[in-house]
């Protein structure tokens, strides 16, 4: 019996990197709500007393970038100097340009269309080269790996008890980490939990640890694998007063393992936040999750990882790979054929299928882009299960 331990982490919405992700996606939402065809590649960085927004935006609408950034910062909880960062008074710098005309050549009209295709799905090419991954497994109802699912729940709870006043001494910045013990690929128990939360200077470490244990850890983990041998660390250094952008600089896209599968499944080289759906870094990663989740939901595999790769300016994927880690009798080649029959993975088709030209992105900029059954997210639907089973039967795979 093979035993091993796997660890994943999450961060709260007040973590400086996540703050930047939310600003970038709030700007995208504001623009795409007015101009669904806008091209947005917006990144944010922050440090003590300052936020800078940079990138390339091509749009016919007007968005008050400074106002949006300040609103996000205050919404997260950085609205007073005692938090170490104040959205009302921090400096907001912008350094934005239009999308490169060279890139637009490939995105505006795919290579296939230039070669004579009249298919609507060949209308646009991939916004960049690259590889994207999607993953699903049967460890949780949302078909996510258990360590990252629990880490996200703890992080959301940490923010909830702060904002609701249950633990009023908490501040916005925080991190969670969960280690799960596995045996033969099946989660057995929670081995270790680590939580570090920013707090005000007047709170004792004893008060903090007692509050987080009873109001965060136990409500989330009781009955879900935590036992009397579970090791718990709460603010192991004993003090976390200086946090947020004052304690550490932040940058869009620096938490892509938190955004995806906690390291349990692979991820591509590009981040999601601040990018419109013509950027396959974002849209194809969502599509890959959509494919993998439907395969697992259909019972065709217990674990599934999907890789999709693209060439800039070309609509059709360069490659599609399905790996089920020995949990299915269907071969990778057969799965690739099955996926190609059921899912259209050209960028325009992904955008249409998942209805991605709308302001839905800020809500997933914290606590994970995948597994969000708490939100009405299109790439989390399992509406392709029946079609997958029907086509698999037709192919003689069942």
Q: How confident is the model at residue 101 (pLDDT cuts 50, 70, 90)?
A: low
pLDDT of residue 106: 62
pLDDT of residue 57: 94
Residue 165, pLDDT > 70, answer yes
CA distance 366 to 25: 10
pLDDT of residue 122: 67
Residue 181, pLDDT > 70, answer yes
pLDDT in tens, 114-124: 777 768 776 78
Q: How confident is the model at residue 143 (pLDDT cuts 50, 70, 90)?
A: very high
Residue 126, pLDDT > 90, answer no
pLDDT of residue 108: 67
Q: How confident is the model at residue 47 (pLDDT cuts 50, 70, 90)?
A: very high
Residue 141, pLDDT > 90, answer yes
Q: How confident is the model at residue 125 (pLDDT cuts 50, 70, 90)?
A: confident
Q: What percent of the chain has pLDDT over 70?
A: 96
241: nearest Cα among 317, 312, 174: 174
12: nearest Cα among 178, 205, 258: 258
261: nearest Cα among 371, 335, 363, 157: 371
pLDDT of residue 384: 98
Q: How confident is the model at residue 111 (pLDDT cuts 50, 70, 90)?
A: low
Q: What torsion do the CA atoms of 204, 205, 208, 212 make, to the nearest 10 degrees?
A: -170
pLDDT of residue 268: 87
pLDDT of residue 129: 87
Residue 107, pLDDT > 80, answer no
User: Which residues have a Cβ under 8 Å from the Cβ of 75 and sit 6 or more positions away?
Assistant: none
203: nearest Cα among 81, 78, 82, 86: 82
Residue 347 dihedral angles phi and psi, to the nearest 5°: -50, -45
Residue 332, pLDDT > 80, answer yes
pLDDT of residue 128: 82
Averaged pLDDT for residues 36-41: 94
Averaged pLDDT for residues 308-337: 95
CA distance 251 to 208: 28
Mean pLDDT of the chain: 94
Q: Which residues on adjacent β-strands are paired with residue 55?
A: 42, 96
Averaged pLDDT for residues 158-175: 97
pLDDT in tens, 372-387: 999 999 999 999 999 9
CA distance 362 to 351: 17
Averaged pLDDT for residues 335-349: 96
84 CB burial (10 A radius; 0-12, 13-18, 19+): buried
Give the 3-state DSSP-derived string for the chain, with helices as H, strands as E and coil as C.
Answer: CCEEEEEEEEECCCCHHHHHHHHHHHHHHHHHHHCCCCEEEEEEEEECCEEEEEEEEECCCCCCHHHHHHHHHHHHCCEEHHHCEECCCCEEEEEEECCCHHHHHHHHCCHHHHCCCCCHHHCCCCCCCEEEEEEEECCCCCCCCHHHHHHHHHHHHHHHHHHCCCCCCEEEEEEEEEEEEEECCEEEEEEEEEEEEEECCCCCHHHHHHHHHHHHHHHHHCCCCCCCCCEEEECCCCCCCCCHHHHCCEECCCCHHHHCCCCCCCCCCCCCCCECCCCHHHHHHHHHHHHHHHHHHCCCCCEEEEEEEECCCCCCCCEEEEECCCCCCCCHHHHHHHHHHHCCCCHHHHHHHHCCCCCCCHHHCCCCCCCCCCCCCHHHCCCCHHHHHHHHHHCCCC
Contact assessment for residue 333 and residue 223, using Cβ atoms and an 8 Å cutoff = no
Residue 231, pLDDT > 90, answer yes
pLDDT in tens, 187-213: 999 999 999 999 999 999 999 999 999
Residue 109, pLDDT > 80, answer no
Residue 1, pLDDT > 80, answer no
Averaged pLDDT for residues 123-150: 93
Q: What torsion do the CA atoms of 101, 39, 271, 19 make, to the nearest 10 degrees?
A: 130
CA distance 286 to 63: 26
Averaged pLDDT for residues 346-358: 96
């Amino acid at each position: 019996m093979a035993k091993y331990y796997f660890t994943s982490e999450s961060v709260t919405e007040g973590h400086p990197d996540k703050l930047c992700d939310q600003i970038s996606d709030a700007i995208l939402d504001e623009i795409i709500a007015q101009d669904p065809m806008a091209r947005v590649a917006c990144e944010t960085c922050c440090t003590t007393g300052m936020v800078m927004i940079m990138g390339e935006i091509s749009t016919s609408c007007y968005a008050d970038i400074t106002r949006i950034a300040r609103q996000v910062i205050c919404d997260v909880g950085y609205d007073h100097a005692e938090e170490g960062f104040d959205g009302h008074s921090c400096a907001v710098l912008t350094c934005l340009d239009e999308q490169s005309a060279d890139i637009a050549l490939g995105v505006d009209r795919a290579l296939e269309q230039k070669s004579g295709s009249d298919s609507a799905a060949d209308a646009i090419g991939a916004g960049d080269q690259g590889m994207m991954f999607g993953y699903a497994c049967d460890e949780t109802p949302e078909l996510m790996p258990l360590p990252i699912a629990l880490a996200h729940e703890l992080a959301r709870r940490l923010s909830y008890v702060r904002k609701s006043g249950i633990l009023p001494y908490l501040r916005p910045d925080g991190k969670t980490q969960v280690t799960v013990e596995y045996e033969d690929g099946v989660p057995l128990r929670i081995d270790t939990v680590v939580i570090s939360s920013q707090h005000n200077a007047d709170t004792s470490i004893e008060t903090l640890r007692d509050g987080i244990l009873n109001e965060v850890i136990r409500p989330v983990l009781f009955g879900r694998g935590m036992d009397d041998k579970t090791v718990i660390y709460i603010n192991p250094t004993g003090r976390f007063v200086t946090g947020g952008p004052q304690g550490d600089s932040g940058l869009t896209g620096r938490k892509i393992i938190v955004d995806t599968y906690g390291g349990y499944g692979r991820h591509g080289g590009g981040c999601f936040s601040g990018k419109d759906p013509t950027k396959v870094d974002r849209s194809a990663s969502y599509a890959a999750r959509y494919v993998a989740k439907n395969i697992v939901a259909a019972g065709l595999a217990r674990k599934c990882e999907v890789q999709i790769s693209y060439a800039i300016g070309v609509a059709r994927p360069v490659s599609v790979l399905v790996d089920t880690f020995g949990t299915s009798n269907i071969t990778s080649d057969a799965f690739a054929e099955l996926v190609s029959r059921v899912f259209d993975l050209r960028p325009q088709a992904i955008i249409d299928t998942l209805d991605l030209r709308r302001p839905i992105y800020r809500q997933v900029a914290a606590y994970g882009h995948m597994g969000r059954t708490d939100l009405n997210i299109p790439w989390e639907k399992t509406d392709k299960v029946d079609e997958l089973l029907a086509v698999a039967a037709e192919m003689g795979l069942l």
